Structure 1
Amino acid sequence: MPFKKLIQSLKDTLEHKDFYEPLPLQKSILPKIKGGASLFCIAPKGTGKTTSIVISVIQKLKGEAFEDAPRVLIFVKDKQAALDLQLEFNAYKRGTDLRVYCAYDEYNIDSQRDEIYEGVDIVIATPKRLNKIFFLNGINLNRLQMCIVEDGEFLFRNNNFAEVTRTPESIGKCQYLVFSSTYDNRFDRWQDSFMYKSQVIKFK
């Protein structure tokens, strides 16, 4: 997907950053994501995975806030990863009114529930905190269009894989994207269930 096909605010931001052409990885995956495919994107660090997430999400949501329930959920390993990804979104969502929110363990859960209730478009969350908020009826996942995992290696520590697996049990049809530097055989379980017919894109 050439950048010329993006919404104008994204094109303006990319040009401001002197970013005129997609990286090789992005040329491969951005059209597939735009087409609605669920993907396992397996690629080394520094190939543009995080930027691909940000561009794809902003494009999918057309840069426009809508109602109160989040339409995109992104799982990350910890608070710092959440805050770093939020900074990336803030840098690329200029000219839009998209609302990005971080949910992590080191913050009062009642405050998080109230803040999410006020309306967000994109939630960046650690798995355990997201599930705690969900089971407190603090987040509506019925409007999700995309569920994403950033740097999926963390899933296989501290029971995170099981925590993330719970989420699809609570939502309807959704596009799933998993970004990781390696493919773990445990991902096969997802391919046999909610990521049925997903594509595995490996990039060196």
Structure 2
Amino acid sequence: MTFEQLDLIEPILKALQQEGYTSPTPIQEQSIPILLKGNDLLGCAQTGTGKTAAFSIPILQKLYKTDNRKGIKALIVTPTRELAIQIGESFESYGKYTGLRHTVIFGGVGQKQQTDALKIGVQILIATPGRLIDLANQGFISLKALDFFVLDEADRMLDMGFIHDIKRILKLLPTKRQTLFFSATMPPEIEKLANSMLTHPQKVEVTPASSTVDIISQSIYLVEKKEKTDLLIHLLEDKSIESALVFTRTKHGADKLSRVLKKAGIPAEAIHGNKSQNARQRALTDFKSHNLRILIATDIAARGIDVDMLSHVFNFELPNIPETYVHRIGRTGRAGHEGIAISFCSAEERPYLKDIQKLIKKAIPVIANHPFISMEGINAQKEKEEEIKIKAKEKKIYQGSRSNGDYWRRKKQAPQNSKKTNSPNIKNK
């Protein structure tokens, strides 16, 4: 299928053509017709599947065809400033020939530039929850004329404690609206939130909930906690690793790892909530343009990082929430490209690994051949080798017994050549 077959207007088709897009992804192919018909949508899709275009394109088309464009007509709420900026860039790209105006608002920076844009007037607003509520309370934002509401990355919203902010935002919205709800995973609490917001929604699920992209090659390195840094330096000495996003659990851990890598001659930058917006944007820009090879991030800061041809994701520390693992490795393997996800697992993180493998319904291969393997890893490898030997022995015994059984069955079924066989008494028995 092509975008032309989705009955898109010429201004959007022209923009898509200039971006080099000809065929929609599965979630775009399924979602765009539903949204153009005016239905609410519950979308379950992994990161990197093209869901931003799945909701931005139909919103742009419907607003383009609307005569009355005064006021904010579409609101997109997303958990992080990086993701908000990325969504804003998508609306800029796809809507460049529509004449529609949009702006992005988020915290951590002065509000004047954002309020100036709001005063001029926009039809599309992309916002993080805190700054949206703040500016609404100050009277800069009115959502009475809203037609479209998009809640993006809903599962991450709940992980970050935004549930009360979401409830406050819902009170600001008109009852009559088209609501779009997107989440990479769909645990029970997310379904409950979706049911409270949506009216007879159409559901689009392009991949099983909480699954990982098939084209991402995943592996586990069993390593002592104190030797993780040495292992990372050892692996990053491989120049075939063109770009790598490294996840740590804490802001302090990200900064410390960045300093150690730089000392080892490996340029790296860290981004997290304590960094200024300018510093974060500078590091992200360098990373996206491949001027920076290694970026270290916490989970919150990494949401919204969309890098073409990101070859590797490293889980320096395994997340204690298994769904977070899905989000992390989804930074690679995007837009049909292959990706590699490497995770370090210490003894105390083994329960996290067990939960992750239970969630994704697959065992992640363990790499035993590395210079920093833990004693636990060595023992696990010995157990695996012993298991293989036992299985091979059992198979040999089974094959031998099967061969003996075949022999005796053939002997029993063989025709009798003795004269007694042909006697009338034998025939009549």
- TM-score normalised to structure 1 length: 0.89
Could you say which residue in structure 1 is the equivalent of 2:205? 202
Alignment of 1:84-95 (within 5 A): 84-95=86-97
Find 1:152's aligned residue among 141, 150, 154.
Answer: 154
More helix by share: 2
Q: Is the 8 A contact 1:69 1:143 kept in 2?
A: yes
Equivalents in 1 of 2:39, 2:69: separation in Å?
25
Q: Which SS does the other structure have where 1:61 is aligned?
A: helix
Residue range with higher mean Cα deviation, 150-159 or 122-131:
150-159
Could you say which residue in structure 2 is the equivalent of 1:54? 56
Change (3 A) 1:47 1:69: same
Report the residue type matching 1:25 in the other structure.
Answer: I
Unaligned 5+ runs, structure 2: 208-429
Equivalents in 2 of 1:134, 1:86: separation in Å?
20
Residue range with higher mean Cα deviation, 144-153 or 54-63:
54-63
User: Could you give the per-residue CA deviations for residues 20-47 of structure 1, whole angstroms, max 9, x where no partner exists?
Assistant: 2322222211111111111110012222
Could you say which residue in structure 2 is the equivalent of 1:14? 16
User: Could you give the per-residue CA deviations for residues 34-61 of structure 1, whole angstroms, max 9, x where no partner exists?
Assistant: 1111111001222211121221221121
Note the C-alpha offset of 1:203: 1.4
Find 2:140's aligned residue among 138, 141, 144.
Answer: 138
Q: How many residues align?
A: 204
Note the C-alpha offset of 1:70: 0.9
Equivalents in 1 of 2:154, 2:197: separation in Å?
17
Q: Which SS does the other structure have where 1:14 is aligned?
A: helix
Change (3 A) 1:94 1:113: closer
Q: Is the 8 A contact 2:155 2:190 kept in 1?
A: no
Could you say which residue in structure 1 is the equivalent of 2:117? 115
Report the residue type matching 2:202 in the other structure.
Answer: Q
Equivalents in 2 of 1:63, 1:196: separation in Å?
24
Could you say which residue in structure 1 is the equivalent of 2:190? 187
- TM-score normalised to structure 2 length: 0.44
User: Could you give the per-residue CA deviations for residues 135-193 of structure 1, whole angstroms, max 9, x where no partner exists?
Assistant: 12211101111111222232113321221222222221111111221113223333443
Equivalents in 1 of 2:69, 2:173: separation in Å?
18
Note the C-alpha offset of 1:3: 2.7
Change (3 A) 1:191 1:180: closer
Unaligned 5+ runs, structure 1: none
Equivalents in 1 of 2:202, 2:164: separation in Å?
22
User: Could you give the per-residue CA deviations for residues 72-104 of structure 1, whole angstroms, max 9, x where no partner exists?
Assistant: 111112211111111122121121211111110
Q: Is the 8 A contact 1:71 1:144 kept in 2?
A: yes
Report sequence identity in percent: 25
Could you say which residue in structure 1 is the equivalent of 2:227? none
Q: Which SS does the other structure have where 1:193 is aligned?
A: helix
Report the residue type matching 1:153 in the other structure.
Answer: D
Could you say which residue in structure 1 is the equivalent of 2:33? 31
Q: Which SS does the other structure have where 2:188 is aligned?
A: coil
Equivalents in 2 of 1:50, 1:84: separation in Å?
9
CA RMSD across the alignment: 2.2
Equivalents in 2 of 1:59, 1:75: separation in Å?
19
Note the C-alpha offset of 1:67: 4.8
Equivalents in 2 of 1:51, 1:115: separation in Å?
23
Equivalents in 2 of 1:74, 1:158: separation in Å?
17
Equivalents in 2 of 1:16, 1:103: separation in Å?
27
Q: Is the 8 A contact 1:127 1:164 kept in 2?
A: yes
Q: Is the 8 A contact 2:154 2:190 kept in 1?
A: no
Q: Which SS does the other structure have where 1:166 is aligned?
A: helix
Q: Which SS does the other structure have where 1:186 is aligned?
A: helix
Q: Which SS does the other structure have where 2:86 is aligned?
A: helix
Q: Is the 8 A contact 1:2 1:21 kept in 2?
A: yes
Equivalents in 2 of 1:150, 1:117: separation in Å?
25
